[in-house]
Structure 1
């Protein structure tokens, strides 16, 4: 039989530009779920800074990324727990003549404080494209971790089934998605039809991706004060069942849940998605590109 993995999703309100405050709050949650036996704790995207790219000093805060990455490594070792610390926005410069580039990065840190995986956000949401650099055509990687083979995605990546296919084709069983997704990410036309359209999007896509990829999805989103558009809805989703746990739309909180990995094996036995992808004569390659006519 496949193992049972104890997973924690942590839903936080990231106070804008308050790195140390946000880290200390996150660390309290991580310590708490560790005492409950959680083997993995996942935090939201932008949980250290909130998304404030036009605020004075934002770039300076992003220069501190190594400091906080090391703090999370030390916390993982202290608590004996694997951590995906949401995302950390990193400022990078290739040389002194180049302007700073901002990368939105997720890490998988194991229970010994070692980095087992790193992923730079590929599919940037519209407003991010002015500020962040995408990982572009870099291949999605799968990482060997104490929990098995794990893939990392970030927020808007959820909208692209190709990203999931690339990961499960390499054997990923758990896909972790730190997110900063709000109800206000819907345009005016959509909000007129359904003020909760983005919540519907999240619940629908998370369920669909779990079924169509026979995988477990750990989704940690930001929550926040009512009336500010925070979507929350952090959840752990598996095929057949749907959400094993699902937090509310606004409040901060955490949930620890057992993920029976046998569910994934049973789902694959039924749907045979992975086995189809592994066939030599499989008819999709999941790489979309414009075909240029050769003269």
Structure 2
């Protein structure tokens, strides 16, 4: 039995890259002092989110997975497993493509990469969707990564769970409602949606969710913060406020926790794929 301490981050990140690296280094050191083995940082924490104003796109800085910026985070991480978000530039048929990407590093190396699959609203003006969901092994167990809107799709988390993921890492820049925002972020409908999907994805797959989010403001966006670690029964183990902070929780034995959660009612164990419809999008209204 090996305890694992997990931390999910609520923090702001903007265009100033050196400020981003300074904040990442501070968060890693704070997590290390707390004995954290897995740290999840938000979406787009290298250079900020994809735009500053609705309808007025601004390209974020974009990096390669094998470039010096990713290596710098990997070196800061040391033996801790750290997941973080950035814009990634890759070679494409038409010059270059930019993806909204999550990278997992540890031991000075890249362990896994996820490119955001589901692009909300008009985010596809800036980034291209990824086309793969893949769980992967790390020193703290088998994990899967999803970015922001990806977590709204149960099929995405279920795919990773069926690939053996024990922990789902959600990296978000989740804002409050753009229309009729609540005065208190905790009362905002987007806060409720984000929390609901974090807890539902954990409960319906009987696994652990570590959900990080940006906080503060960026252009016209006001992020809801509220990072959380959710147990395999769907219950919060640690939650931050809507401001900056680390949600830190220790799981005494990840394998045992998942086994207990799947002992009685377990949607991941009791699947009936023989009766489910083949997924297909609804026609546009």
Q: CA deviation at 1:264?
A: 2.0
Question: What does residue range 1-295 of structure 1 map to in structure 2 within 5 Å?
Answer: 3-15=2-14, 17-53=15-51, 59=59, 61-63=61-63, 66-77=67-78, 80-85=79-84, 87-94=85-92, 98-110=94-106, 112-136=107-131, 138=132, 140-185=133-178, 187-188=179-180, 196-224=188-216, 229-240=222-233, 242-249=235-242, 251-260=243-252, 261=254, 262-277=256-271, 282-284=274-276, 287-288=279-280
Question: For the Cα contact (< 8 Å) 1:233–1:247, is it kept in 2?
Answer: yes
Per-residue CA deviation, residues 55-102 of structure 1 (Å, 9 max, x unaligned), is 99965721476221010111122xx211102x110122337xx34321
Mapped to 2, the partners of 1:182 and 1:54 lie a distance apart of 12
> Is this contact kept in 2: 1:162–1:286, CA < 8 A?
no
* CA distance, structure 2, for counterparts of residue 54 and residue 68 of structure 1: 22
Taking a change above 3 Å as real, the CA distance of residues 84 and 197 of structure 1, as seen in their structure-2 partners, is same
* CA distance 1:145–1:287, shift in 2 (3 Å): farther
Q: TM-score, normalised by structure 1?
A: 0.83
Whole-angstrom distance in 1 between the partners of 2:77 and 2:7? 14
- Residues 286 and 22 of structure 1: is their aligned pair in 2 closer, same or farther, counting only changes over 3 Å? farther
Aligned mates of 2:57, 2:158 — CA distance in 1: 38
Check conservation: 2:102, 2:145, Cα contact below 8 A: yes
Greater share of helix: 1
Distance 1:52 1:283 in 2: 40
Q: Which moved more, 1:34-43 or 1:61-70?
A: 61-70
Aligned length: 275
Tell me how large the CA RMSD over aligned residues is.
2.9
Equivalent residue number for residue 293 of structure 1: none
TM-aligned CA deviation for residue 233 of structure 1: 1.0
| Contact 1:59 1:91 (8 Å CA) reproduced | no
Shift of 1:114: 2.0
Over alpha carbons, which structure has the higher Rg?
Answer: 1
Gaps of 5+ in 1: 291-295
The gaps in structure 2 that reach 5 residues or longer are none
How far apart, in 1, do the equivalents of 2:189 and 2:169 lie? 23
Q: Which string of whole-angstrom CA distances, capped at 9 and with x for unpartnered residues, describes residues 192-237 of structure 1?
A: 9x96101111121111111111010000001116996220110000
* SS of aligned partner of 1:269: coil
Q: CA deviation at 1:116?
A: 1.6
